[in-house]
Each structure stands twice: as C-alpha cells, then as structure tokens.
C-alpha cells in the first residue's frame, strides 16, 4: 500500500511540474541545453547495489545490547526519478526505489527457517532530491545529487503450511552520487549513475512483526545503475 501512495504522489507532482514546464516555455525561460530552467525530467533505471547489512538486537532496558552482526550482499535495484529545473544549474525532485536481497536469517535476525533457506528482504526509499548540473549542452548532462528521505526494510515469508515470518523496520536514508545523461533524440536519452548511501531503521513503532521485534537494521553501500530518460522541453 505504501508503494501505491508513493506512485500516486509522484504522478501528482509530475503533473504539477509538467504544468510549470509548459508555463515556463511561454514566458521564455526555456533554453536548448539538455538541462534548463523550467524543464521536467523523468528517468527509470535498473541496477545493482553492493550493500552491508548491520543488525543489532536492542534488548529493552538493557545497558549492553547484543553485538552487531554484519553481512555483505549484492542486491538488485529498481528506481524511478522525476526532477524539475529550478535554474539552469539547480534541480529538485523526488525519487523512489526498491532493492531486493537474499539474506541469512540466522546470522542477521536470530532465527533459522526449518528448510534452511535464505529469506528475501526488500528495502524501499522515498526521497527528496537536490541536484547541481555542472555541465550541459544540447545532448550531454552531467550532475551531482543528494537524496534525503524515508527508508524501510521488510520481509514477509511463509514456509509451506507452517510458520510465517514478518518483519518491518522504518527510518531514514541519505544518498549522494552523480549522473550522466545523453540524449540521442530531443526528448529521449539514456543515463548512468553511481551513488553511495546509508539507511538507518528501527522496528520500535511497528506492532505486527512476528520475528526479530528488537532488531534494528542499518544498510549502507554503493549502487551502479543505467536506464532511460525523457525530458519535457521545447
């Protein structure tokens, strides 16, 4: 349900930015470069992320929580971005994405499935973006960005007709990185990006967890992504 709300929010903001973009064209703000004041940019990508999961069992009223457990994993990433040009160099926008991992529950969350299989864990982020475009011409756009926003970690699985496992932890995330976009056509192009991120979560305010109810989860690492981009401009 949260992903549905995120998608609706992005659609509404996209329509508002699109209207601003059209108005900007009429008052003469638009330029011919790949990034410009008043333009709306939409991007979707696929990629991989090298992450470090760190979990800790925070026992209530304990002055010496259990030792943190760490696991290095590779995940698949699937994000979506929109951005609006405030000036010819600065842009603001929204981004949302989901990463998927296979993890060892015994090492990280203190339980083991009866079939000894790993668990599928997803992380989701919904962030506000600020970017600086330090170079742009008619086809090429180079920028750096920072994302700040919400972040969660969850898994929900059920063994065959036996025990079910459900865990959710919520928190925040910061991501910094760089993007390069190249437009083969006036509106359509391709892009690549690299980023580094850190997310911190806690299950304290979640009431329906059935496992690992005292475990915090922190995720940090780097991501490499590539995809398609579209710009609304004249």
Q: Which pLDDT tens digits describe the chain residue by residue (234 residues)?
A: 444 444 444 443 444 444 444 444 443 334 468 899 998 999 999 999 999 999 999 876 555 567 889 999 999 999 999 999 999 999 999 999 999 999 999 999 988 888 788 999 999 999 999 999 999 999 999 999 999 999 999 998 877 656 788 999 999 999 999 999 999 998 999 999 999 999 999 998 898 899 998 999 999 999 999 999 999 865
32 close to 229: Cβ distance less than 8 angstroms: no
Sign of CA dihedral 222, 224, 227, 233: positive
Q: Tell me the β-bridge partners of 166.
A: 156
Q: Distance of alpha carbon 202 from its chain centroid, rounded?
A: 18
The helix/strand count (H/E) of the chain reads as: 2, 8
């Amino acid at each position: 349900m949260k992903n549905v709300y995120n998608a609706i929010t992005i659609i509404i903001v996209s329509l508002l930015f699109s209207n601003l973009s059209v108005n900007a064209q009429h008052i003469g703000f638009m330029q011919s470069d790949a990034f410009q004041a008043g333009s709306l940019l939409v991007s979707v990508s696929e990629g991989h992320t090298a992450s470090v999961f760190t979990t800790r069992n925070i026992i209530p009223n304990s002055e010496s929580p259990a030792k943190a457990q760490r696991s290095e994993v590779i995940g698949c990433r699937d994000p979506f971005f929109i951005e609006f040009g405030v000036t010819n160099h600065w842009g603001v926008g929204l981004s949302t994405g989901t990463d998927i991992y296979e993890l060892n529950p015994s090492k990280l969350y203190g339980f083991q499935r009866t079939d000894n299989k790993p668990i599928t864990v997803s992380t989701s982020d919904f962030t506000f973006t600020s970017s600086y475009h330090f170079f742009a011409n008619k086809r090429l756009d180079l920028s750096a960005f920072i994302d700040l926003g919400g972040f969660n970690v969850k898994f929900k699985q059920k063994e065959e007709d036996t025990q079910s496992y459900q865990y959710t932890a919520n928190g925040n995330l910061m991501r910094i990185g760089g993007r390069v976009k190249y437009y083969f056509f006036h509106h359509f192009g391709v892009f690549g990006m690299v980023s580094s991120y850190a997310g911190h979560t806690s299950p304290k305010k979640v009431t329906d967890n059935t496992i690992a109810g005292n475990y915090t989860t922190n995720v940090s690492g780097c991501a490499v992504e590539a995809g398609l981009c579209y710009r609304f401009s004249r």
